């Protein structure tokens, strides 16, 4: 990534997932000075998705890495500037928005937030201690370390199912531990998981503790119906029990719901004029690449109109 070149940008975008990259493509192409601040990899959650089958234009599917690369290249083509930093605070200075990272302070007229979500922690003993030592939140990142192993996946939604299906490439045996007696995910993923001979299920069960020595060796599982507790041997625990929006740094600045999702109008504008939100961090019905992209285009256009009316 490069560095910031101006004192005040017309638009700053926080987060370089599909929402932020699309917003950036549109604002740069509209010749607005644009800075995109991304703390990790361009592409956001797409970078941890092996195969994307439901993004239009790719009938054979497309890998998350490839789609990320293409979106980054397209946004950069129109001159967006980028910095590799994490935004920790946003404040207001009259009409200007002040964006702080541990390294720098940036100012802009319009701000677009596209910080997405992160995995919810299970919050059980051993989770922190064994993170990176058998506890993982990313199958694409860590799956290959579990070749011929016996592993558990905790959760029953889309993330848990897609990640479990991916992990069957490596694991000898995989058990999905789910607190209900039925899966929650999309039908096609449910069918694939239920029909996969490598995948077994522990229904009505929650993980109480993760145990091991230098690596994970077992999980303590409680049956929520019977109350029975048992130790279940495993080489790894992949945890997919939901997502939480990465919006902490905006608390007290813009309105959000009780879960921290940013509240916006249909133009993706938040409760503060000139601050917009796109993609998964915003309260909405469907969190997918296609909807993040729609938000990115809408917010960029709305930001452009906001800047025009301000002048
Ligand atoms: C396992 C899995 C599989 C999926 N499969 C599909 C699929 O097949 N099809 C589909 O359409 N969708 C899929 N999704 C959902 C899709 O990936 C998301 O809806 C989409 O990536 C959301 O885009 P976004 O731009 O809102 O946020 P994200 O992709 O989450 O990107 C947010 C970016 O913001 C950055 N960031 C966060 N906070 C800060 C900060 N404070 N400062 C600077 N940068 C910050 C992050 O590093 C990240 O790069 C999947 C998701 C997961 C987890």
pLDDT digits (tens, 9 = 90+) for 152-184: 999 999 989 999 999 999 999 999 999 999 998
Residue 177: per-residue pLDDT: 98
- In total, the chain counts a number of residues equal to 311
**Per-residue three-class SS string for the chain:** CCCCCCCEEEEEEECCCHHHHHHHHHHHHCCCCEEEECCCCCCHHHHHCCEECCCCCCCCCEEHHHHHHHHHHHHHHCCCEEECCCCCEEEEECCEEEEECCCCEEEEEEEEECCCEEECCCCCCCCCCCECCCEECCHHHHHHHHCCCEEEEECCCHHHHHHHHHHCCCCCEEEEECCCCCCCCCHHHHHHHHCCCCEEEECCEEEEEEEECCCEEEEEEEECCCCCEEEEECCEEEECCCEEECCHHHCCCCCECCCCCECCCCCCECCCCCEEECHHHECCCCCCHHHHHHHHHHHHHHHHHHHHHHC
For ligand 1, whether the C-beta of 156 sits within 6 Å is no
- At 141, the pLDDT band (50, 70, 90 cuts) reads confident
pTM: 0.88
Rounded-to-integer distance, Cα 290 and Cα 19, Å? 9
Rounded-to-integer distance, Cα 99 and Cα 89, Å? 6
In testing the pocket of ligand 1, which one of 12, 23, 35, 44 has its CB within 8 Å of the most ligand atoms?
A: 44
pLDDT digits over 30-57, tens only?
999 999 999 999 999 999 888 899 999 9
Residue 2: per-residue pLDDT: 56
Residue 127: per-residue pLDDT: 97
Would you please indicate which residues are annotated as catalytic (active-site) residues?
Answer: 138, 141-142
For ligand 1, whether the C-beta of 269 sits within 6 Å is no
What's the gap in Å between 13 CA and the centre of ligand 1?
Answer: 14
Ligand 1 closest atom vs CA 51: 8
Ligand 1 closest atom vs CA 88: 41
What's the gap in Å between 117 CA and the centre of ligand 1?
Answer: 6
pLDDT digits over 205-219, tens only?
999 999 999 999 999
Mean per-residue pLDDT for 64-70? 96
CA angle 281, 286, 292 (to 5 degrees): 55
Sign of CA dihedral 150, 156, 157, 158: positive
For ligand 1, whether the C-beta of 19 sits within 6 Å is yes
For ligand 1, whether the C-beta of 196 sits within 6 Å is no
pLDDT digits over 2-37, tens only?
566 788 999 999 999 999 999 999 999 999 999 999
Determine which residue's CA is closest to atom 41 belonging to ligand 1.
Answer: 87
What's the gap in Å between 301 CA and the centre of ligand 1?
Answer: 21
Residue 140: per-residue pLDDT: 82
Position 1 pLDDT exceeds 70: no
Residue 4: per-residue pLDDT: 67
pLDDT digits over 263-299, tens only?
999 999 999 999 999 999 999 999 999 999 999 999 9
Mean per-residue pLDDT for 233-253? 96
Residue 5: per-residue pLDDT: 75
């Amino acid at each position: 990534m490069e560095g910031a070149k101006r004192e005040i940008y017309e638009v700053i975008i926080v987060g370089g997932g599909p929402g932020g990259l699309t917003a950036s493509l549109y604002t740069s192409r509209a010749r607005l000075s644009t800075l995109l601040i991304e703390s990790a990899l361009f592409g956001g959650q797409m970078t941890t998705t092996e195969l994307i089958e439901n993004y239009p234009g790719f009938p054979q599917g497309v890998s998350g890495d490839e789609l990320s690369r293409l979106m980054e290249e397209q946004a950069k083509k129109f001159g967006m500037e980028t910095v590799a930093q994490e935004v920790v605070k946003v404040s207001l200075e009259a009409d200007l928005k002040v964006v702080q990272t541990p390294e720098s302070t940036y100012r802009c007229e319009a701000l677009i937030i596209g910080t997405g979500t992160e995995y919810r922690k299970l919050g059980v003993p051993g989770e922190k201690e064994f993170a990176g030592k058998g506890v993982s939140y990313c199958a694409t990142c860590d799956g290959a370390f579990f070749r011929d192993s016996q592993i558990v996946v905790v959760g029953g939604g889309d993330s848990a199912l897609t990640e479990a299906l991916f992990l069957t490439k490596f694991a000898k045996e995989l058990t999905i531990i789910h607190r209900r007696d039925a899966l929650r995910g999309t039908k096609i993923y449910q069918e694939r998981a239920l029909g996969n001979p490598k995948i077994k299920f522990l229904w009505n069960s929650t993980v109480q503790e993760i145990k091991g020595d230098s690596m994970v060796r077992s999980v303590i599982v409680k049956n929520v119906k019977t109350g029975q507790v048992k130790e279940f041997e495993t080489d790894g625990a992949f945890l997919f029990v939901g997502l939480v929006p990465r919006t902490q740094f905006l608390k007290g600045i813009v309105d959000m719901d009780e879960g921290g999702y940013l509240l916006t109008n249909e133009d993706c504008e938040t409760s503060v004029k000139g601050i917009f939100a796109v993609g998964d961090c915003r309260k909405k019905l469907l969190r997918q690449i296609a909807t993040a992209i729609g938000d990115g285009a809408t917010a960029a256009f709305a930001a452009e109109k906001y800047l025009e009316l301000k002048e």
